[in-house]
Amino acid sequence: MQLRSEIQIQTAIKAMTEVVLPALDPHDKIAAEQGQLVVGMLALLGQQLPLQYRFDRDELTRLHAFAAALHPRASWPASAREAFAEMDSAAAGAEDVLDRARAEPHELEESIKRLRHAMTSVVRTVFSADDADARSAVRDSVMAMSEQQLLRDRSWLLMQNWEPNPQAVPPIEELLSVSEPRGEGAT
Amino acid sequence: MTQPDKDSPSPEWISSLRARFVTEREVDNALTRKLENRSGPGYQPVPLDELVDGVSALIRSNGDSSFEIADAYWLPGGASKLQMAFTVRWNQSDATSEPSRMVLRTETAESLHTTSRRREFELLSALNGVIPVPTAYWVDHDATHLPYPGLVTEFADGVSKPTDTQSGVSGLGTRLPPALREKLAPQFVERLARLHTFDFRAENLRTFDIPDAGRQNAIWAINWWDRVWEEDADEDVPLVALASAWLRKNAPAVDQLSVVHGDYRTGNYLFTEHDSRINAWLDWELARIGDRHQDLAWSTSNAFATYDENGRNLLVSGLLTEEEFFEAYERASGLSVDQKSVHYYKVFNAYAMVVMTLATSYRVARNGKSHQDVLLSWLLGVGYMLMDDMRRLIENGS
């Protein structure tokens, strides 16, 4: 996906600072202040977004360690036992989540790019060679994969209103909840 | 994974692209210049005064020195070029010379289409009197006087959509009322027929290469957009590689070469509202000498179509049904419409639009090279729908 938050934020800030803010009525102090706040908020978002996942993971790691350190003592009130049991259960859940959240978002992004590049090289190589069977097989695979991925891409961008028939595109939440690729029948 | 640094292209990489993707010389010149300048600064807002000074210098360099420029203002519209309207008051001693309203169209550091102003100037000059186009006055091809290459033309009166209607970016999705459609549709078809039967060989179109009969024009066109993809794309897309191979394999031979507009649709002409007359065809920067089916496929793209009031008939460029369009075109031009070629060029046009949106829009906006970066990053989003259209067209054509 090329339309990522980084480029959206960067170009929105540029439009605000170079075009919108200079064009505001200089006497409208509230508009000027809120315009500056929008730029500031976007800049903050741009700085935080790449680190948001790492920030949350770091917080969960330390909370998990804190939960482990918070051992109940015998002298503590029995009424707290239920709360401790709940904490232990939540800590076990946190451990599981941390186990599954090892890769950084940028690693995921780089891995996607690398695989896309390698697959594209395969397509180019096969289509420049004289082997009809190989071409046909690669073509079928690319078309099937593209159909599924493009459905998700279009759904991801539904809010932009490009789709002539938006009802034919399932919501992105539904598509992303499907763990195995499948051939959704959108038009 | 070794990838070239596309934001700071090496001379070796530029040379390799030029060798791999042979296209028209002027297209090559424009794309090469883009890459050679890429590592330079991004777009800096240009004050109107600076453009006025540049235009004045351009006019003086062409021999006119007694004039003044007044009433300069920005013209909206378009995702690709900066446009300034202005008036030239000629200081003639006999006081008979009327003020001239004009438009400056100038590039930015990089834009959605990297094209040649010299080529646009030549074609507008050649088509003057053939179909309605603004008179072209001066061109600053290598930005001697202006901050970026630019072209000065006559200011054409008219609107690109009825003043009381709404449409999307660049005039897409414009709805035209039936009475207006009846008047515009015949002109839309007739002007296209006249363009496609225009004797370009009799003109001095030095920046246009004339392809051989057969497939050369199609191969040049694929090379053009393949090269732009290589220059601008950030992430690879296997379907784009597949589409390129499909286009090469299925490229049709052209039976008669024509001047192709490249973006012939509602939104790219101006009409005067009091008499519904098309007064000027605009945006010639993608024009080339090629296959008329490229324009026919572009005009009939769903991206530029709207439904009639009943919601039953899809109208080509909001004007008439596809069947009516092709029939009227054949009658007006005496040229045939080959459905297989129309299909081929629908795939080609979708491919070019995918390259413009997913590759060029991304690269220009991310590097801050235009006055419309936020619009370009917004346009990036339509690339996925276009790519899915392209996928379906390839599937249907196999």
Range of the domain at B99: 49-155
Domain of residue B97, CATH code = 3.30.200.20
- pLDDT of res. A28: 87
> Does any CB of chain A come closer than 8 Å to the CB of residue B388?
yes
SS3 annotation, chain B: CCCCCCCCCCHHHHHHHHHHCCCCHHHHHHHHHHHHHCCCCCCCCCCHHHHHHHHHHHHHHCCCCCEEEEEEEECCCCCCCEEEEEEEEECCCCCCCCCEEEEEEECCCCCCCCCCHHHHHHHHHHHECCECCCCEEEEECCCCCCCCCEEEEECCCCECCCCCCCCCHHHCCCCCCHHHHHHHHHHHHHHHHHHHCCCHHHCCCCCCCCCCCECHHHHHHHHHHHHHHHHHCCCCCHHHHHHHHHHHHHCCCECCEEEECCCCCCCCEEEECCCCEEEEECCCCCCEEEEHHHHHHHHCCHHHCEECCCCCCEEECCCEEHHHHHHHHHHHHCCCCCHHHHHHHHHHHHHHHHHHHHHHHHHHHHCCCCCCHHHHHHHHHHHHHHHHHHHHHHHHHC
> Which parts of chain B have pLDDT scores under 70?
1-2, 77-78, 93-96, 166-173, 398
CA distance B361 to chain A (A): 10
pLDDT at A2: 86
Stretches in chain A below the pLDDT threshold 50: 180-187
Domain boundaries, chain A: 5-68+83-100, 105-176
**Nearest CB to B384 within list A123, A139, A150:** A150
pLDDT of residue A183: 47
Total of domains in chain B: 1
Interface contact A164-B302, CB threshold 8 A: yes
* Residues A124, B234: C-beta atoms closer than 8 Å: no
Select from A15, A113, A147 the Cβ nearest to the Cβ of B235: A113
B337 lies in some domain: no
Cβ neighbours of B250 in A, within 8 Å: none
Whether residues B241 and A123 touch (CB distance < 8 A) is answered with yes
Interface test mutation site (partner A, options B240, B248, B377, max chain A beta carbons within 10 A): B377
Q: For position A186, what pLDDT does the model report? A: 44
Q: What is the pLDDT of residues B353-381, one digit of tens each?
A: 999 999 999 999 999 999 889 999 998 99
Contact check, Cβ <8 Å, B373/A123: no
Residue B59 lies in a domain: yes
Distance from CA of B44 to the nearest CA of A (A): 9
pLDDT value of residue A144: 94
